[in-house]
Amino acid sequence: MSTEANNLNKTMKSFFRFGTVSGCGWLLDTSLLFFFAQWLHLPVFQANFLSSVIAAIAVFSASRLLVFRARSGQYLVRTGLYTLYTCVVILLASSAMPVVLLLLKALANQYSLALSDGGEVLLAKAFITPPQLLANFCMARVLSTTITALKL
């Protein structure tokens, strides 16, 4: 197998492992989102931001060890950088949540579908998640591996 094919194979395996860890994080994130929005009655923007930051830190910490096999150095610095990155992405995603909710409500009305408020929030989260997953994988990989190679 060529070096390029071997590197692609490793990257794909890492992405699928990251997807698995992120799936668990998504369950944590979605559960917290539902709790914050439905039980604590936080606005959806705030509920999504809070639940996402908590889950992102958990996913980054787990993926450093389980996906990228990074065990050395600067854990707090790397986690801090990832948290800053995540806050920017989450702010963008949280800003999109009310718009996605409006679109989902319009679609539900158009097709006479009954969605609970909680169901709409969870569905909106499902629409926003895939682009975040890809961006998070790329950033986590850079912070876990590339920075190690640069001795930062």
pTM of structure: 0.66
For the chain, residues with pLDDT lower than 50 are 152
With left for phi above 0 and alpha for psi between -120 and 50, is residue 114 left, alpha or beta?
A: beta
Phi then psi for 55, rounded to 5 degrees? -65, -40
3-state secondary structure of 49: helix
What pLDDT does 152 receive?
47
